[in-house]
Amino acid sequence: MSDECVRRGPRPCWERGTYVIEADDAAELARTMHLEQLITRQLGGLFPERGGDLGAVQTILDVACGPGGWALAVAYAYPQVTVIGIDNCPAVVEYAQAQAWSRGLENVEFVVMDALQPLDFPDDAFDLVNARFLMGMMPASAWVPLLRECRRVTRPGGSIRLTEAELCWTTSPAFEQLSAWLARAFWRKGYSFSPDGRTLGITAVLGQLLRSAGWCNIGYRPFVVDFSTGASAQTGGYQHFMVFWRLVQEFVCTWAEIPAEIFERCYQQAMAELLLDEFCGLWFHLLTWGENPAA
């Protein structure tokens, strides 16, 4: 992405790039950093599929790293490992690098690079590739080419790990309506794997996408974020969605063809319903991993 992403202009963010939210918006930076911590906590650590043991892993690539929350946490927890995060927005990369410097982390670096183009790394450069929540920036047709490129830069025997989410299941009629509009918007934009636009469909296809790109030994770890009233993630979930629905409003209203005033009323109702004593909400995620076949 060009320097356009750091300038405000009349065009919506999703016309200036592939991400459905303006990546360098201050609220988005804060939301993403908070979300990384929430997901890692709910998942049970940075590498629960490995029991926290990285073994022989020395080099890690974090694709579409955003403000660097996951990469920074890994660099701090595993000082023997070198982590490189890439993102296509210069302002976001600058923010992430400043975070690394302020924390004194010398084993992590952030680079401006578009994940939807050939990666500027040599073959077999990394032991492990990580990516979280790519769906917000990925046309469905771009997944296999990217996963093939990730395999090219991963050494034989190395691995990849992907974390994606589906729509929430809640008892809030207004929240369910917002989710339905979001699913429709993703479907119309060509980002969804749903056959009819009623879901996102990404978690169902992650394993097949990896196999199509040549990865093997596919594994899964499902987990949920319970943001029901009284649950441990209630406050975190509420704060996340309070900001999230605001950030995707323009995208949803445009692609799902929803008048702004109708979206606004539904948003206000949803935020009120999330505070009810009887509110229940689960947000389903899937961690999927694969291995690069040995030569």
pLDDT tens-digit series, residues 150-204: 999 999 999 999 999 999 999 999 999 999 999 999 999 999 999 999 999 999 9
Q: Give the Cα separation of 275 and 175 in Å (integer).
A: 12
Share of the chain above pLDDT 90, in %: 89
Nearest of 206, 57, 75 to residue 143 by alpha carbon? 206
Instruction: Give the confidence band of 26 by pLDDT, cuts at 50, 70, 90.
Output: confident
Residues 60-97 have pLDDT tens digits of: 999 999 999 999 999 999 999 999 999 999 999 999 99
pLDDT in the model for residue 17: 56
Residue 10 has pLDDT above 70, yes or no: no
C-alpha distances out from residue 13 to 16, 96, 135, 184, 247, Å: 5, 20, 16, 18, 10
Decide: 158 and 292 in contact? Cβ < 8 Å.
yes
Nearest of 95, 103, 113, 114 to residue 74 by alpha carbon? 103
Q: What is the pTM of this model?
A: 0.91
CATH class for the domain made up of 3-291: alpha beta
Nearest 10 degrees: Cα torsion 271, 132, 96, 136: -60
Q: Is 102 exposed, middle or buried (0-12, 13-18, 19+ CB in 10 A)?
A: exposed
Q: Which two tokens stand for residue 218?
A: 């596919």
Q: Give the Cα separation of 234 and 239 in Å (integer).
A: 9
- Mean pLDDT for all residues in the chain: 92
At which residue do the structure tokens 């592939």 appear? 18
Nearest of 109, 164, 103 to residue 135 by alpha carbon? 164
Instruction: Give the confidence band of 8 by pLDDT, cuts at 50, 70, 90.
Output: very low
Nearest of 89, 60, 95 to residue 74 by alpha carbon? 60
Residue 7 has pLDDT above 80, yes or no: no
Q: Which two tokens stand for residue 273?
A: 């319903």
Residue 13 has pLDDT above 70, yes or no: no
Nearest of 148, 2, 24, 31 to residue 93 by alpha carbon? 24
Instruction: Give the confidence band of 59 by pLDDT, cuts at 50, 70, 90.
Output: very high
Q: Give the Cα separation of 108 and 97 in Å (integer).
A: 8
